[in-house]
Chains A and B, each alone.
Chain A
């Protein structure tokens, strides 16, 4: 993984000092709340329903065991002993004291972490594929490019007061696991006809109040021009994005109002001036230098010879279930990528205690070259596990409540913090997750249903990505009462689509029951081996609607 040099370290250290002084001035009354607001936001600090919330950046979701241990220590020392992993691969703490935040940032800087630009109208954490580097459908590892972009975007003087927040995702695989089509900019590594690798550039995707699928504005961008092209897009947005209306200020609205072709033309015009700027051009050596941080670990060449896990699978049906659902194939023979499920019944989706974080850090050291990843589905991944170690790893995860064999099923829900924490929420989401967990406690039934993605947001800001779920749940407020709007048929994969609204919102107590009815309709209509999404696309909304409002 990327290791800071003196420049990176000096920058985060100086950032801590800067924020320490800003916090001091705010507490001394020298800075107004209005002036302090964007400063704290650019360091990830919100003021929430009950307390401040601190969002810590996990660049492209990658963590060393040392960093994970530090996150655990922060949870224990400055919070109530847990943290919440988000759909953008970051972690949030819900209970830090404002005056302690500079200390937390200093703790982070010691392990090469920060909270820079995790909020505010600036370029946010660069997100990516949680299987980067180990997926067998990968064209190239996206992480070196993520890190290059991270550095370019960090404290960018021109793009720190944009009309609105700005999110970039990079995918290196054929299968899009990074939701690039619903980001402000999505970058997809592609190979052109000459066999050269570059980027397909998408712009203007996003969820929230006005969900839109991004449009391709350039089919092939040579790698060397990555930064000049990004700079051109951001400049056009900074100059022309709307600032008069909060709800119309994302780049997607600009792209939509101009039309993607005209927007693309403006970007290309701007790029003409920038493309030969040496300060924005990446030479091969720059890219290779970055790639050296993301080389393959020292794999055991004989890992495939040890097949004890097969015997163990025969003997232990619980292990067999976990293997079937939480463990993924790997491009290296004899290795697997393992999901650490943060979706145990009785816990808020994506939450993890300090003890669990420390346990996973330990397991990462023992079994996965000291690294862990955060997936945008709010689970962790140990990406490089020898097949012979799976049983031992499973037992250790199970002891921590981290081996619920439900990845990809109905109960592997994405869920935002909702009304329990978030001051913008219309309705609770954690309670709904609980309701669904209680209703669907029969794993065999879940396995029979196959892959079903349920995402839930507590308001139309859509932090829970409900639009791109097979079954989306959105909290709405009707005269002070919590209601839930259901959508069907969304996905953030290659065939990205926004879900269709089924009809009027339903009451809080009915949600799990209605999910049950939706799944029954699917089970009745599906053809042999047909997944939920395909059935929905084939039969449409009506049969579901009829049953929901019957």
Chain B
């Protein structure tokens, strides 16, 4: 089983990515594409096991949010680490739409972006397969101070200074 980072630890991934043209496994937790979810929502909801959906930055966060109760997991895909749209999508899902399920970063997910990803609300990371997730995990500890509020810390530095 693949190892991923989840809630600050390395764990075995219990979820299965199901390709658009592959048959749905009878059991288990699956992640399907946003397209597939659009095409066969009923089938997907009826099966045993939890449902996750994977979307690129092309899928509007409000569309994802409209169906958020149906998903135990939302995976946002970074086709290249430089494509930063999903940082905003993550924050919107967490802060505006109150999504509380697993929010997973997939695609070009590398150590050096992890700190930011974590701050905008991702709690799970499929680190790119050729990289060591153990090393990537260290990135979450790169900084113990931050200036601005985000999905993780709600108190910006200027508010902490008020009491100083």
Interface residues of A (CB under 8 A from B): 5, 7, 10-11, 14-15, 17-18, 22, 31, 35, 38-39, 121, 148, 151-152, 154-163, 227, 235, 238-239, 243, 273, 278-280, 282-283, 285-286, 289
Q: How far is the CA of A284 from the CA of B114 in the complex (A)?
A: 35
Q: How far is the CA of A163 from the CA of B120 in the complex (A)?
A: 17
Contacts of A161 in B (CB 8 A): 81-84, 87, 113, 116
CB nearest neighbor in A for B150: A157
Q: How far is the CA of A35 from the CA of B81 in the complex (A)?
A: 9
Q: How far is the CA of A278 from the CA of B113 in the complex (A)?
A: 27
Nearest-CB distance from B141 to chain A (Å)?
Answer: 9
Q: How far is the CA of A279 from the CA of B115 in the complex (A)?
A: 20
Q: How far is the CA of A235 from the CA of B88 in the complex (A)?
A: 7
Q: How far is the CA of A420 from the CA of B147 in the complex (A)?
A: 39
Q: Are the C-beta atoms of B157 and A7 separated by less than 8 Å?
A: yes
Q: List 5 A-B contacts (CB under 8 A).
A: A14-B142, A35-B81, A160-B116, A235-B88, A289-B158
Using a CB-CB cutoff of 8 Å, which residues 72-102 of chain B contact chain A? 81-85, 87-88, 91, 96
Nearest-CB distance from A288 to chain B (Å)?
Answer: 11
Q: How far is the CA of A243 from the CA of B143 in the complex (A)?
A: 29
Q: Are the C-beta atoms of B83 and A158 separated by less than 8 Å?
A: no
Contacts of A148 in B (CB 8 A): 158
Q: How far is the CA of A154 from the CA of B119 in the complex (A)?
A: 13
Q: How far is the CA of A4 from the CA of B83 in the complex (A)?
A: 33
Contacts of A38 in B (CB 8 A): 81-82
Contacts of A278 in B (CB 8 A): 159
CB nearest neighbor in A for B90: A158
CB nearest neighbor in A for B142: A18
Q: Are the C-beta atoms of B144 and A155 separated by less than 8 Å?
A: no
Q: How far is the CA of A165 from the CA of B146 in the complex (A)?
A: 21
Say whether, besides A38-B82, A235-B88, A282-B158, A157 and B115 are in contact (CB < 8 Å).
yes
Q: Are the C-beta atoms of B162 and A273 separated by less than 8 Å?
A: no
Residues of A contacting B: mostly: helix
Say whether, besides A11-B147, A155-B147, A158-B87, A286 and B162 are in contact (CB < 8 Å).
yes
Q: How far is the CA of A285 from the CA of B115 in the complex (A)?
A: 31
Q: Are the C-beta atoms of A279 and B145 separated by less than 8 Å?
A: no
Using a CB-CB cutoff of 8 Å, which residues 5-47 of chain B contact chain A? none
Contacts of A17 in B (CB 8 A): 142
CB nearest neighbor in A for B89: A239
Contact of A289 among B117, B147, B150, B161 (CB under 8 A): B161
Using a CB-CB cutoff of 8 Å, which residues 118-164 of chain B contact chain A? 118-120, 142-150, 154-162, 164
Q: How far is the CA of A278 from the CA of B156 in the complex (A)?
A: 9
User: By CB atoms of chain A within 10 A, which of B81, B110, B143, B155 has the most?
Assistant: B143
CB nearest neighbor in A for B78: A161
Q: Are the C-beta atoms of B158 and A121 separated by less than 8 Å?
A: no
Interface size class of B (residues with CB under 8 A): 35 or more
Contact of A152 among B87, B145, B147 (CB under 8 A): B147
Contacts of A243 in B (CB 8 A): 82-83, 85
Contact of B148 among A121, A152, A282 (CB under 8 A): A152
Nearest-CB distance from B27 to chain A (Å)?
Answer: 37
CB nearest neighbor in A for B164: A5
Q: Are the C-beta atoms of B112 and A35 separated by less than 8 Å?
A: yes
Contact of B84 among A31, A155, A238, A282 (CB under 8 A): A238
Q: Are the C-beta atoms of A7 and B149 separated by less than 8 Å?
A: no
Contacts of A279 in B (CB 8 A): 148-149, 154-156, 159
Q: Are the C-beta atoms of B120 and A286 separated by less than 8 Å?
A: no
Q: Are the C-beta atoms of B161 and A5 separated by less than 8 Å?
A: yes
Q: How far is the CA of A39 from the CA of B96 in the complex (A)?
A: 30
Say whether, besides A35-B112, A279-B149, A155 and B82 are in contact (CB < 8 Å).
no
User: By CB atoms of chain B within 10 A, which of A148, A238, A282 has the most?
Assistant: A238
Contacts of B145 in A (CB 8 A): 7, 10-11, 14
Contacts of A31 in B (CB 8 A): 112
CB nearest neighbor in A for B84: A161
Q: How far is the CA of A15 from the CA of B144 in the complex (A)?
A: 11
Say whether, besides A151-B158, A273-B96, A279-B156, A156 and B148 are in contact (CB < 8 Å).
yes
Q: How far is the CA of A419 from the CA of B81 in the complex (A)?
A: 31
Q: How far is the CA of A121 from the CA of B83 in the complex (A)?
A: 10
User: By CB atoms of chain A within 10 A, which of B87, B118, B160, B161 has the most?
Assistant: B87
Q: Are the C-beta atoms of B157 and A151 separated by less than 8 Å?
A: yes
Q: How far is the CA of A158 from the CA of B120 in the complex (A)?
A: 6
Q: How far is the CA of A80 from the CA of B87 in the complex (A)?
A: 41
Contact of B149 among A5, A39, A155, A280 (CB under 8 A): A280
Nearest-CB distance from B87 to chain A (Å)?
Answer: 5
Known: A14-B145, A157-B115, A279-B149. 17 other contacts (CB 8 A): A7-B145, A7-B161, A11-B146, A11-B147, A14-B142, A22-B112, A35-B112, A157-B87, A157-B120, A161-B81, A161-B113, A239-B85, A243-B82, A279-B148, A279-B154, A286-B161, A286-B162
Contacts of B149 in A (CB 8 A): 279-280
